Amino acid sequence: MTHLTTPSFNPFTVHIDFAGLVMDKPDAHNIRRASAMRGYYQDKGALEKLIEEKNDPLHYETYEKHVPEEYGHLLFCISKIQPGTVGEECFMTKGHYHTRINTGEIYFCLQGQGYMVMKTSDGKFDTQRMTRGGLVYVPPYWAHRSVNTGKEPLTLFCVWPADAGHNYGDIEKEGFPKRIHLRQGMEVIE
């Protein structure tokens, strides 16, 4: 673990464009298209159809500023998940544990609606409804995935310890015990 001993990094301000709900002048704009989600949805055929027919559409994206990935710093991003379903399953992020698993995260919903879906490796499961103005606290040890159940993008502001790291591999193997579906316009968690 690296400890900062001197104030070697200068303060800065970043603007969020409230009209478009994007970060102005991000250092990184990461895009995941539908094809990056192979293996994550129940209905594999529906995902392939989406990739084929809609020319591998944008699935979700993040806007980030670079800060040192060291103990003491905070990373933050704007995360935007597109609306839609794969079969009946709502568009979602891959989900991850943090590499340093004893680190939490804040998600603040700026737009849209959906769920934060969470689990621990010892069998706990939780979902938190997300609507504009809702702030979800993801405690340490919980894998987390955001799911868009609405008709507009689900846009979230997130902040987490900069040395937390992302572990996608374990949750990819384990999966989450429940998925979020839309059936006749109703949200179904099962």
* 80/181 with CB nearer Mn ion: 80
Give me the residues that bind Mn ion (CB under 5 A), please.
105
89 vs 105, beta carbon nearer Mn ion: 105
Which residue lies nearest Mn ion, judged by its C-beta? Answer: 105
50 versus 162: smaller Cβ distance to Mn ion: 162
Could you say which DSSP state residue 150 is in? S
Tokens of residue 151, six digits = 């008709």
Q: Work out how close the CB of 52 gets to Mn ion at its nearest, in angstroms, rounded to a whole number.
A: 31
Handedness of CA 38, 154, 12, 74 (dihedral sign): negative
We find the least distance from the C-beta atom of residue 160 to Mn ion, in angstroms, to be 5
* Nearest to Mn ion of 51, 61 (CB atom): 61
- Closest distance to Mn ion from the beta carbon of 109 (Å): 15
How is residue 189 written in tokens?
């968690």
Write down the residue that tokens 């949805």 correspond to.
41
- In the complex, minimum distance from the CB of residue 100 to Mn ion, in angstroms, rounded to a whole number: 11
**Who's near 26: CB < 8 A, 6+ residues apart?**
14, 63, 64, 65, 78
Nearest to Mn ion of 49, 125 (CB atom): 125
DSSP H helical segments within 42-155, as ranges? 44-53
User: Which residues share a beta bridge with 188?
Assistant: 181
* Minimum CB distance to Mn ion, residue 144 (Å): 6
Residues 6+ apart with CB under 8 A from 70: 2, 4, 162, 163
